[in-house]
Structure 1
Amino acid sequence: MTAVSTPGFRRPLLWMIAVMLMVAPQAQATGYEATPDGRALIDEMVTKYGFDGDRVASVLAEAERVDKILESISRPAERTLSWAQYRKIFIKPARIEQGLAFLREHEDAFARAEAEFGVPATIIAAIIGVETWYGNYLGNYRVLDALATLAFDYPPRSRFFRSELVQYLLMTREQRFDPLEVKGSYAGAMGYGQFISSSYRHYAIDFDDDGIVDLLTNPVDAIGSVANYFGAHHWRKGEPVAEPVDARLAADSPLLTRELKPRLTVSDYRSAGLEPEVAVADEATARAMLLDGPGGEELWLTYHNFYVITRYNHSHLYAMAVFELASELARGLAADDDKTSKTKES
C-alpha cells in the first residue's frame, strides 16, 4: 500500500476542474456530506479542529457506502468459529516459515523493540503475522469508505466509527496522506499491524527515525509501533501468557469466568487443583477458559499478558492465535540457533 504524501486534502488541479465542469450550477449534493450527520461532522471538523469546511465536504462527497462492509462486520470470525476452526486459519506451516523469514529480515528492529519495550520479538511478529501475513494482505477497502459506511449506516456502532472517522481525518492531515487513497480492512484498520485511526495517532511511532510515521509501507515503524502499543497497555516483561492445564472443570464452574480481564488469582485455581507448570506467584491474576480444540475440549489458564493481547483485539480466540503463532516462531528460532551452533562446532 502506498501512502500519497499530498499535503492536507489538496487534490490535483485537473481533477478539481473536471469536477467543476461536470457539476451543473443547480446540482445538489447527494453524498454523505449532504446528510444531517455529515453536515454535523463537517461543522465539528471546522470548529473543533480548524479544517476547511469545503475540503471536508469534498472528501465526504467521495465516500461510498459499501454493503459488503456491513455484511462483514455483522459476522466476524471471532464470534462464529470454534477454536479448532479459528486456529486452522493462522497456525499454518507457511505462516510460520514466513514469520521466521520476517524475523530474520528485520532482526535489528525486533531486537531493539524487545529491548526498549520488553515485548518478545515473537509476540510482535505474531501480531503482524495474524493481522496481515507480515504485510502481504493489508486490505482492499478504502479506509474512507469503510469508516463512512460504518459511521453513517451502521447504527449499532455508529458512535465509535464516527469517532474513528474524525481520527482518520486528523491522522491523514498529520501524516500528509491523501484521505481518498489509504486502504485497509472492512473496519478501517491500516498497515502491517492494522491500527485503527485512533491507535495510529496515539501509538504509532517513527521507529527508524526518518521523520515519517508510516505503518502502511514501513515494517520497521510497524514493529516499533506494535511494541509501543503493548508497552502502553502494560505488558509485563518475562511473565507468562497462557498454558494448557491437565485438569477438568464443569462448564458451569465459577472458576470459568466470562470476562476477558482476569479477576481470580492463581491461588484460587491452585486451591481447586489446577496447578500451573510455569513459575507464577499465588497472587497473580489468572483466568481459566474452555476451548473446543482440534483434539477436543481444552482447558487453559491465561495470565495478565494474555489479557494485554486482547487489548489489541477483544477476543480470546485472537489472543490464542497470537500466542500459539508466537510459540511456533520461538520454537523455529530455537531450532535455527541449534543448527547454527552445531555447524560452528563441527
Structure 2
Amino acid sequence: MLLNLTLTFVLRASTLVLAASLYTASLAANAKGQPAAKKTSQTAAQGQALGPSYADRADAMALANEIAQRRGLDSAWVQHHIGQARFSASVVRAIAAPAVGTPKNWNLYRSRFIEPIRIQAGVRFWQANRESLERAEAVTGVPPAIVVGIVGVESIYGRHTGTHRVMDALTTLALDFPTAHPRAAARTAFFKAELEAFLVLAHRTQTDPQALRGSYAGALGMPQFMPSSWTQYAIDFDSDGRVDLFHSPADVIGSVANYLKAFHWQAGMPTHYPVEFHPPQLDLPTLLEPDIRPTWTPAEMVAKGTTPLGVGLQHAGKLALIELQNGAQAPDYVAGTDNFYAITRYNWSSYYAMAVITLGQEVAQAMQK
C-alpha cells in the first residue's frame, strides 16, 4: 500500500498546503467542523478509557530517538509527543485478528455496507460533487462509482472519520501490537513507519500531533488515508492552495482517484466478471493459489474448469479467481481483473473490494430513480 510509484498527477502536498489542511483538521478535532465530528468527539471522551502514557517506557524513548535521528527532527520534540501518547486497549482489541476458525461471510460483510442510509448518503455525495467526480475520471480513468464506493465504505462520506487520537492509536500499535496476531512482526513494522510518517508530517506543517483524531489504525479524514498515503497521494483537487481530506470533497475525490491511478487503474476495464464452473475439469486449488493477484488468462481459466462469462472470455489481461466465502453456505466466485486488484491496494481484502464495487453500483442505480 505504501509503494513509491511514479504518479500521473503532480502532487502538490507542499508544506503550506499540508499545514493549512492539517490545521483545519486540528480545528475539527476541537469540534469545529461537521456535526458528526462533534458527536464522535463526545463518544471518544466517554467510551475510550486510556492506559498509562509512554513517557516512562524505555522502548518508546528509544523509538523516538531513532525517528529523530533518521528524519532530522529535534529528539526532545519527538520524545515529548511519543511520551504524551497513551496506551489504548480499545485500539488493541479492534486490531486483533478474528478468532481461529471464525468463518468469513460475504453476505454478512455486504450487509454492513450495502444498506439504505449509506446508499442515500452516496446519492447526495454524488449529486453534490458531480463535477469533481467527472473531472477525476477524465484525469485518472477512475469512474465516479468506484470513488463514491470507497468514500462510502470508509467513512459514510465523512460522517465517521474516527474517534481515536491518532498519536495514541499509532503509538499503541507501534509498541504494543498484539503478539498473538499471525502477522505481528510485519504489522508492528508497518505502524512504526506510520507513526514516523505522522510525526514528520505534523512537524513539517507545525501541527500539534496530539490534536488529530482518526480510526483505530490511525487513518485520517473522509478517505481514511494513512499518514504516509496522505503525503504520497493526497492532492489539492479544488485548487484552493491546500490539501484537506477532512472537509473538501473535491480533494477527497481527486486523492482517492489519484491513489488508484498510482496502483495502475486502467480506464474502461471492468473490475470483475461472473464465472461458470465445469466440474470435470475444475481445479480450484490451483486457481485459488495466487489469491487475488491476477495470474490466469481467460483460456487458462477455461482449461482449469472455470469460464469467465460475457465479455470476460475476451479479456485482454490476466484474471484472478476470487472466492467470497459465505459461512456455512456455498461461496460466491468472480474473476477479478487488474482493476479489482487495484482496489485491494487500498485495503488488502477481496471482501472490501467487492463491497466498494457493489456500493458504487447501488448508488449509481439509485441516482437513476
Q: Please tell me the TM-score bracket, short chain as reference.
A: 0.7 to 0.9
Q: Compute the displacement of 1:58 (Å).
A: 1.8
Structure 1 residues 251 and 267: CA distance shift in structure 2, 3 A: closer
Relative contact order higher in (CA < 8 Å, ≥ 6 apart): 2
The reply on whether 1:307 has 2:341 as its aligned counterpart is yes
Structure 1 residues 282 and 56: CA distance shift in structure 2, 3 A: closer
Partner of 1:256: 288
Q: AA paired with 1:214?
A: D
Give the alignment partner of residue 121 of structure 1, picking from 139, 144, 160: 144
> Which segments of 5 or more consecutive residues in structure 1 lack a partner in the other structure?
6-29, 337-346
Q: Compute the displacement of 1:4 (Å).
A: 2.5
Structure 1 residues 136 and 168: CA distance shift in structure 2, 3 A: same
Partner of 2:256: 226
Provide the C-alpha distance between the structure 1 equivalents of 2:352 and 2:278, rounded to a whole number of angstroms.
23
Partner of 1:38: 60
Structure 1 residues 177 and 331: CA distance shift in structure 2, 3 A: same
* 67-76 vs 248-257, greater mean Cα deviation: 248-257
Provide the C-alpha distance between the structure 2 equivalents of 1:70 and 1:251, rounded to a whole number of angstroms.
39
Structure 1 residues 219 and 176: CA distance shift in structure 2, 3 A: farther
Contact kept in structure 2, 1:135 and 1:191, CA below 8 Å: yes
- Aligned to 1:178, the other structure's residue is in SS state coil
Provide the C-alpha distance between the structure 2 equivalents of 1:150 and 1:73, rounded to a whole number of angstroms.
9
Q: Compute the displacement of 1:81 (Å).
A: 3.6
Instruction: Write the deviation string for residues 155-202 of structure 1: whole angstroms up to 9, x where unpaired.
Output: 512211111100000122334432101111111111101011111111
Q: AA paired with 1:223?
A: I
Provide the C-alpha distance between the structure 2 equivalents of 1:252 and 1:218, rounded to a whole number of angstroms.
45
Give the alignment partner of residue 284 of structure 1, picking from 313, 317, 329: 317
The reply on whether 1:71 has 2:86 as its aligned counterpart is no
Structure 1 residues 299 and 104: CA distance shift in structure 2, 3 A: same
Provide the C-alpha distance between the structure 1 equivalents of 2:68 and 2:332, rounded to a whole number of angstroms.
53
Provide the C-alpha distance between the structure 2 equivalents of 1:283 and 1:108, rounded to a whole number of angstroms.
31
**Considering only CA atoms, is the larger Rg found in Structure 1 or Structure 2?**
1
Q: Compute the displacement of 1:266 (Å).
A: 1.4
Equivalent pairs counted in the alignment come to 310
Partner of 1:266: 298
* 236-245 vs 271-280, greater mean Cα deviation: 271-280
Q: Compute the displacement of 1:76 (Å).
A: 6.0
Provide the C-alpha distance between the structure 2 equivalents of 1:76 and 1:228, rounded to a whole number of angstroms.
32
Q: Compute the displacement of 1:105 (Å).
A: 0.5
Contact kept in structure 2, 1:257 and 1:288, CA below 8 Å: no
Normalising by the residue count of structure 1, what TM-score does the alignment of the two structures yield?
0.82
Normalising by the residue count of structure 2, what TM-score does the alignment of the two structures yield?
0.78
Provide the C-alpha distance between the structure 1 equivalents of 2:320 and 2:194, rounded to a whole number of angstroms.
31
Provide the C-alpha distance between the structure 1 equivalents of 2:256 and 2:237, rounded to a whole number of angstroms.
11
Instruction: Write the deviation string for residues 273-294 of structure 1: whole angstroms up to 9, x where unpaired.
Output: 5142135645511011332359
Q: AA paired with 1:42?
A: A
Structure 1 residues 248 and 143: CA distance shift in structure 2, 3 A: farther
Structure 1 stretches (4+) deviating beyond 6 angstroms?
none
Q: Compute the displacement of 1:217 (Å).
A: 2.3
Contact kept in structure 2, 1:171 and 1:200, CA below 8 Å: no
- Aligned to 1:131, the other structure's residue is in SS state helix
Q: Compute the displacement of 1:208 (Å).
A: 1.2
Provide the C-alpha distance between the structure 2 equivalents of 1:169 and 1:285, rounded to a whole number of angstroms.
40
Give the alignment partner of residue 51 of structure 1, picking from 68, 73, 76: 73
Q: Compute the displacement of 1:57 (Å).
A: 1.8
Instruction: Write the deviation string for residues 293-325 of structure 1: whole angstroms up to 9, x where unpaired.
Output: 598432211111000000000011001101111
Superposition map of 1:161-200 within 5 A: 161-200=191-230
Structure 1 residues 320 and 76: CA distance shift in structure 2, 3 A: farther
Identity %: 38
Structure 1 residues 322 and 282: CA distance shift in structure 2, 3 A: closer
Contact kept in structure 2, 1:175 and 1:212, CA below 8 Å: no
Q: Compute the displacement of 1:264 (Å).
A: 1.3
Provide the C-alpha distance between the structure 2 equivalents of 1:246 and 1:257, rounded to a whole number of angstroms.
18
The reply on whether 1:207 has 2:230 as its aligned counterpart is no
Contact kept in structure 2, 1:143 and 1:183, CA below 8 Å: yes
